[in-house]
Each structure stands twice: as structure tokens, then as C-alpha cells.
């Protein structure tokens, strides 16, 4: 039990005194960048999927 309490205290100390938390503006900027990158990645995957679907449909029609 003492070991668990020690781990908990060390964790709290690290979160309060050693971690550098971002400012609100940094957090907003990072969130916007992640959202834009996610949308671009999703569009790329969608375009690739649509392309493969069209290619497969063309191949099935030929057979």
C-alpha cells in the first residue's frame, strides 16, 4: 500500500511541477492543426477508396 501511495504522490508532483502545460492559444492552434490534418487525411483515404472502387467495378464489368 505504501508503494501505491508513493507512486500516486510522485505522479501528482510531476503533473503539478514538472509538466509544461500549453496556453489556451497554443491549445486552440494545435487543435485546429489536428482537425485540418484529419480532414485532409480522411479526404485522401476517401479519394483512394473511390478510385479503387471504380477500378474494381471496371474490372468486374470486363469479366
pLDDT tier at 63 (50, 70, 90 boundaries)?
confident
pTM for the complete prediction?
0.66
Three-class SS of 4-40: HHHHHHHHHHHHHHCCCCCCHHHHHHHHHHHHHHHHH
Q: What are phi and psi of 4, to 5 degrees?
A: -65, -40
User: Which residue is listed with cell 500549453?
Assistant: 22
Q: How far apart are CA 3 and CA 9, in angstroms?
A: 10
Average pLDDT value for the chain: 95
Q: What integer pLDDT is reported at residue 53 of this predicted model?
A: 97
Report how far residue 24's alpha carbon sits from residue 3's, in angstroms, rounded to the nearest whole number.
Answer: 35
Residue 49, pLDDT > 90, answer: yes
Amino acid at each position: 500500500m505504501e508503494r501505491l501511495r508513493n507512486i500516486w504522490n510522485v505522479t501528482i508532483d510531476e503533473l503539478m511541477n514538472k509538466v509544461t502545460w500549453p496556453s489556451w492559444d497554443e491549445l486552440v492552434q494545435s487543435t485546429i492543426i489536428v482537425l485540418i490534418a484529419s480532414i485532409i487525411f480522411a479526404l485522401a483515404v476517401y479519394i483512394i477508396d473511390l478510385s479503387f472502387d471504380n477500378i474494381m467495378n471496371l474490372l468486374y464489368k470486363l469479366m
